Copies of this chain bind each other. A is one copy, B any other.
Amino acid sequence: MRNDPDLIREIEQFLYREARLLDERRFDDWLALFTDDVRYWMASRSNRYPKSSKAIAILDPARYVEDDVTGADELAVMDETKETLAARIARLATGMAWAEDPPSRTRHFVANVEVEPGEADAELKVYSNFIVYRSRAESEEDFYVGARQDVLRREGGAWKIARRRLVLDQNVLSAKNVSIFF
């Protein structure tokens, strides 16, 4: 699979096109790329000492959590269904979504795309890294950097995103808001 150049290329092109739809603010077309049962999830990361750290002597090792992206959703900043994504897009169309009025200038960079077999037959597990540059107003700049794990599913002869897991590589987010999509 990771040795099928044409499939990897196909997936890359799919993700590049998806990114361009976002940068062109074609949000409805973008939404159509997701399956109806998609879970779209993004979280930030915490600062935790590994168990091996000598900075602390752990009192209660049994309960100690080492992972800095808690699976328990504790740091999720987005946790969306297709419905809530649609509602977010509808909100942007009201003419009163002030965080995006005037709109952000975004540029999505999709990198390091890797493809693996998915759990289901018609599915793929796709890794990629992202840099999303957001420029706003006169001089505001944000770089959103992190990794994605997508599950792509073949539906009606086309690929759709059945799950998107985004990890944003920050603890205290430097951007004043996350009013864009990834």
Contact = CB atoms under 8 A, between A and B. Distances in A.
A45 interface: yes
Given A55-B101, A93-B52, A171-B137, A111 B114 contact: no
A145 B133 contact: yes
A55 B109 CA distance: 31
Nearest to A69: B105
Interface residues of A, number: 59
A47 B179 CA distance: 17
Interface stretch (A11-19, A71-79, A153-161): A11-19
Contact of A112 (B93, B110, B133): B110
A38 interface: no
Interface string A119-136: 000000001010101010
A166 to B, nearest CB: 12
- Copies of this protein chain in the complex: 3
Interface centre among A17, A49, A133, A174 (most CB of B within 10 A): A133
A135 B171 contact: yes
For chain A, what secondary structure do more than half of its interface residues adopt (helix, strand, loop), or is it mixed?
mixed
Contact of A107 (B50, B98, B103, B147): B147
B20 A112 contact: yes
B112 A19 contact: yes
27 contacts: A3-B10, A5-B5, A8-B9, A20-B112, A23-B129, A45-B135, A47-B102, A47-B137, A49-B101, A50-B102, A52-B93, A53-B101, A54-B94, A55-B98, A68-B102, A68-B103, A106-B169, A109-B112, A109-B129, A110-B112, A133-B145, A135-B169, A135-B171, A137-B171, A138-B171, A138-B172, A139-B172
